[in-house]
């Protein structure tokens, strides 16, 4: 016989996805926010997201929200599960468990607000408003994950176009980490990491009368050996 705390007796639990979508615009790390047009928290800024539809896979729901909010297709961005948030009172409407996702995108376009949002915008991570629900915690966790993964994976290239210079790649690290890096040391470490970047087919690009800047593209590696550690 089932007891009073039998998990099978828990009913009316909804599953949602929330997306912490980061990009680099105007040399600043920015996060996509939507202003809610519906209760609860009408008028407050929040992360984009929504309920998982009947018969829909959780990852498919996250991909759908990414596409609807940014116009970015799944294969043009990095998207991964971040964590699950299920505090009993995180949503005033009832028990809602959210599977939050982290997304890193390049060349982010001006967002278009969805049907449940009054407006949407890219906001500087350094100057975010207090967000609805528990989204402040999700953003903090997403930032920690992104900063850590830049140390031991090649995900920094997710913020860049197909081809880029090493100076542009270094800028990604400096913006995300909030620290200045020595150009020569950074270049040496990047080129010493097998498969991190490879020379681009188009060759160098000449900027005005200056020295041609060699262009690179992402290599086949996903993990950095050795890692690029953040300055202490």
CATH number at residue 200: 1.10.10.10
CB 135 within 8 A of CB 35: no
Any idea which residues carry the catalytic annotation?
Answer: 119
* pLDDT tens-digit map of 68-113: 887 777 777 899 999 999 999 999 999 999 999 999 999 776 776 6
Distance (Å, rounded) from C-alpha 172 to C-alpha 141? 19
Per-residue pLDDT band for 133 (boundaries 50, 70, 90) equals: very high
pLDDT of 65 above 80: yes
Same domain assignment for residues 97 and 171: no
Query: How confident is the model at residue 212, as a pLDDT?
Result: 77
Same domain assignment for residues 159 and 109: no
Helix (H, G, I), strand (E, B) or coil at 126: helix
| Domain final position from 135, 150, 165 | 150
Same domain assignment for residues 128 and 163: no
Residue 159 DSSP class: G
> How many CA atoms lie less than 13 Å away from 85 in the CB half-sphere?
21
pLDDT of 114 above 70: no
The reported pTM is: 0.90
Domain-located, residue 231: no
Q: For residue 115, give Cα distances in angstroms to 48, 69, 103, 118, 120.
A: 11, 10, 21, 8, 11
Distance (Å, rounded) from C-alpha 205 to C-alpha 190? 19
CB 177 within 8 A of CB 126: no
Give φ, ψ of 41 to 5 degrees: 60, 40
Query: How confident is the model at residue 1, as a pLDDT?
Result: 46
Query: Cα–chain-centroid distance for residue 129?
Result: 18
| Structure-block tokens of residue 80 | 């991964």
Distance (Å, rounded) from C-alpha 131 to C-alpha 210? 45
Structural domain span for residue 191: 155-218
Torsion 97-102-106-107 (CA) sign: positive
Query: How confident is the model at residue 3, as a pLDDT?
Result: 53
Give the mean pLDDT of 133-158. Answer: 97
Between 202 and 138, whose confidence is greater?
138
* pLDDT tens-digit map of 166-181: 999 999 999 999 999 9
pLDDT of 62 above 70: yes
Domain-located, residue 214: yes
Domain-located, residue 20: yes
pLDDT of 208 above 60: no
pLDDT of 217 above 70: yes
């Amino acid at each position: 016989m089932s007891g009073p705390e039998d998990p099978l007796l828990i009913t009316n639990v909804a599953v949602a996805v929330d997306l912490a979508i980061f990009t680099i615009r105007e040399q600043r790390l920015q996060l996509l926010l939507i202003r809610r047009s519906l209760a609860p928290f009408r008028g407050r800024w929040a992360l984009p997201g929504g309920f998982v539809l009947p018969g829909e896979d959780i990852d498919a729901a996250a991909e759908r929200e990414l596409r609807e909010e940014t116009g970015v297709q799944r294969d043009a961005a990095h998207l991964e599960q971040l964590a699950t948030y299920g505090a009993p009172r995180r949503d005033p409407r009832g028990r809602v468990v959210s599977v939050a996702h982290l997304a890193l995108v390049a060349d982010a376009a001006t967002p278009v607000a969805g049907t449940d949002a009054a407006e949407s915008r890219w906001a500087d991570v350094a100057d975010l408003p207090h967000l609805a629900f528990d989204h402040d915690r999700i953003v903090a966790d997403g930032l920690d994950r992104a900063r850590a993964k830049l140390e031991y994976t090649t995900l920094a290239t997710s913020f860049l176009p197909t081809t880029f210079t090493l100076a542009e790649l270094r800028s990604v690290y400096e913006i995300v980490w909030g620290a200045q890096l020595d150009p020569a040391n950074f270049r040496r470490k990047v080129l010493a990491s097998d498969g991190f970047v490879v020379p681009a087919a188009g060759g160098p690009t000449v900027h005005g009368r200056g020295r041609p800047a060699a262009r690179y593209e992402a290599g086949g590696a996903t993990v950095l050996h050795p890692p690029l550690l953040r300055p202490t």
